[in-house]
Amino acid sequence: MDLIQSFSVDHTAIVPGIFLSRADEVSGGTVTTYDIRLKRPNREPVIDVAAMHSLEHIIATFLRNEPGWKQDVVYWGPMGCLTGFYLILKGDRPPRAIYDLVLRAFRSVDEAQEVPGAAAVNCGHYLMHNLGMAKWYAAEFAAYLEKNADNPLIFEYPRTQRLVTETGQEFFDS
């Protein structure tokens, strides 16, 4: 069985950033999945679940209303490991091309007075939100992005090294 692409990323070396996870050809063009990583896996505490939920609501609302981008947004949602989000966009752009969009999205969290869609009729777990902590995580990540804008490590995945035997069997270092 083939190892899926996201498991070939060296999670011991990844830093927070904006990464191209995969690009898929679909009828009508390309759909690109980006890894918006807020925390270093297995090193930093993960994002608080209620804050993650609030970030999901606030940033999804921002992205789906952002002029020039809203028509290309397919999906915004949390990673199961709670270290970041996936953003799926129509088109094929390098991670640097969405830097400003992602930075604006995280900066917009500070302006939120409430979490959009945080009512029983709109949300499957409407009581599990934390706007204050969402603002804290968003500000932390936005400041990190600004400080590291010229650092190529925040745009390129570290890949695992593969040992391939003479018979073609692959081994992974993580």
What does the alpha-carbon distance between residue 159 and residue 83 come to, in Å, rounded to a whole number?
18
Instruction: List, for residues 126-146, the tens digit of each pLDDT value.
Output: 999 999 999 999 999 999 999
Q: Which residue has the higher pLDDT, 159 or 10?
A: 10
Confidence of residue 13 (pLDDT cuts 50, 70, 90): confident
pLDDT computed for residue 55 by the predictor = 98
Closest CA to 133 of 35, 49, 33: 49
| Backbone torsion region of residue 110, taken as left when φ is above 0, otherwise alpha when ψ lies between -120 and 50, otherwise beta | alpha
Confidence of residue 98 (pLDDT cuts 50, 70, 90): very high
Length of the chain equals 174
Q: Residue 18: pLDDT above 80?
A: yes
pLDDT, mean of residues 4-21: 84
Instruction: List, for residues 23-57, the tens digit of each pLDDT value.
Output: 999 998 999 999 999 999 999 999 999 999 999 99
How far the first Cα of the chain sits from its last, in Å, is 17
For residues 76 and 85, is the Cβ–Cβ distance under 8 A?
yes
Q: Which residue has the higher pLDDT, 171 or 88?
A: 88
The radius of gyration of the chain from alpha carbons, rounded to an integer in Å, stands at 17
Q: Residue 167: pLDDT above 90?
A: no
DSSP string covering 34-77: EEEE-S-TTTSPPPPHHHHHHHHHHHHHHHTT-TTTGGGEEEEE
pLDDT, mean of residues 73-98: 97
Q: Mean pLDDT of all residues in the chain?
A: 92
Q: Residue 6: pLDDT above 80?
A: no
Output DSSP code: residue 146.
Answer: H
Indicate the helix (H) or strand (E) that contains 84: strand 84-90
Instruction: List, for residues 71-85, the tens digit of each pLDDT value.
Output: 999 999 999 999 999
In 3-state terms, what secondary structure has residue 23? strand
- Tokens linked to 161: 């090294």
pLDDT computed for residue 155 by the predictor = 97
pLDDT computed for residue 160 by the predictor = 63
Alpha-helical regions (H) of the chain: 49-63, 99-108, 131-147
